[in-house]
Amino acid sequence: MGSEAASEPLLRLRGVTKLYEAGAGRVVGLSDVDLEIGAGEFVAVMGPSGSGKSTLMNILGCLDVPTSGTYEIKGKSVAGLSPDRLSELRNREIGFVFQVFHLLPRHTALRNVELPLIYAGVPREERARRALEELRAVGLEDRKEHLTNELSGGQKQRVAIARALVNKPSLLLADEPTGNLDTRSGDELMEILAGLNASGVTVVLVTHDPAIARRAHRTVYIVDGKLVSVERFREIRG
């Protein structure tokens, strides 16, 4: 597949390295990663635990910056952007589903989904309407007034997905969104993501499940912070 691949990729990483200064010393998060993702692509990211998948997603989502190397969106480097410009970019263009949800505790599900719209300056009524629509899409309309700490893991994950989608992003980054869902809910979610992708949204998805990865246009494999070929990946996996 990958028929939509254009001459200019949507996202381009060049020699991206991310080093963490941890208490015990330096930890390599990513090491010399080159990656291009075209507009409208559906990419799965696989790799063992601690291999750097979340690190990659954070950089793609403009939450973190590389230690070295460049990251370009539509040919423009994000390194020069101010924190506020990055916030606006995240708000308008990027939907992020975190591995650990990151919902506001003691706020209702609806309020959480509304959050990106608040910072987009959407008027109150429209905000509530769109957030409710998004909750309905993930099947949680009846939980809208529930506080997020009263929800199950799977429900939290779906709220997080609704929040990522509410501002109609052109890039969706999902860090193991099916991890807490049963097979049926997982399938339903994949339907949603596939439909989204069909409507033109670029999707990058982290998963451990090869069955899910198969639904993507392409899968990138990451081991110890490095991108590897599928053969090398199978070799390591045994």
Ligand X SMILES: Nc1ncnc2c1ncn2[C@@H]1O[C@H](COP(=O)(O)OP(=O)(O)OP(=O)(O)O)[C@@H](O)[C@H]1O
Binding mask 76-105 for Mg ion (x = CB under 5 A): -----------------------x------
Kindly state whether residue 54 participates in binding Mg ion, applying the rule CB under 5 A: yes
Binding mask 25-64 for ligand X (x = CB under 6 A): --x-x-----------------x-xxxxxxx---------
Residues touching another protein, count (CB under 8 A):
29
Kindly state whether residue 124 participates in binding another protein, applying the rule CB under 8 A: yes
Binds 102, which of another protein, Mg ion, ligand X, none (CB < 5 to 8 A, cut-off by type)?
Answer: another protein
Binding mask 136-175 for ligand X (x = CB under 6 A): ----------------------------------------
Q: What are phi and psi of 74, to 5 degrees?
A: 50, 40
Of residues 38 and 95, the one with the C-beta less far from another protein: 95
By CB under 8 A, name the binding residues for another protein. Answer: 58, 61, 63-64, 83-84, 87-88, 90-92, 96, 98, 102-107, 111, 115-116, 118-121, 124, 163, 167
The contact set with ligand X (CB under 6 A) reads 20, 22, 27, 29, 47, 49-55, 99
